[in-house]
Amino acid sequence: MGIKEQLEERRRQQEAKRYFRQNNDAFFDAKKWAMLIFSGLSISLACGFLYGLFVSIAHIHFQFILALVGIAIASTLKKVAHIGNTKVAWLSVIFYVFALYMSHVFVIVISMSSMIGGGSFFALLLEPDIYRLGFQSFASNHVLTILIFVLGGYYTYEIAGK
């Protein structure tokens, strides 16, 4: 095989790879990953904040809402990706766990800022001890709560994976 044939073969392979990446829904380029990560972070923070607001108003920790948060995250990321596959499913589960953690952090921040004063909300978000308290609150859940979290993660994976 001569040099011209090798160059022609290499050019055909690169063209086939480019065509595959443009027309394959399962392949995500950097722009798609950035959109997925931004969407996941924003929906996780929004759902965590809304749950923290609900708990601070109602004074009830209703964990089934957090399972619904996972379904909301999965459907949002699936809609952004335009396809459901294992990459989107695992990313949804990661953001679901992040939303669970941030919901505990927001419950602490909202309750502490209501005790201290309304202007301290963002100052408390910048305090590192709040995140440690949120992790302790997240890690010290009851068995039924952990079961609900696992079921929420399972449904998150199933919805985003199909």
Is the CB of residue 51 less than 8 Å from the CB of residue 107? yes
Q: Whole-number mean pLDDT of the chain?
A: 86
Q: What percentage of the chain exceeds 90 in pLDDT?
A: 34
Span 76-97, pLDDT tens digits: 999 998 888 888 899 999 999 9
pLDDT of residue 47: 94
Tokens 């044939």, located at residue: 5
Span 5-28, pLDDT tens digits: 888 888 988 887 777 766 665 667
For residue 68, the surrounding DSSP H or E stretch is: helix 64-81
pLDDT of residue 72: 94
Taking 70 as the pLDDT cut, the residues of the chain under it are 1, 21-27, 118-119
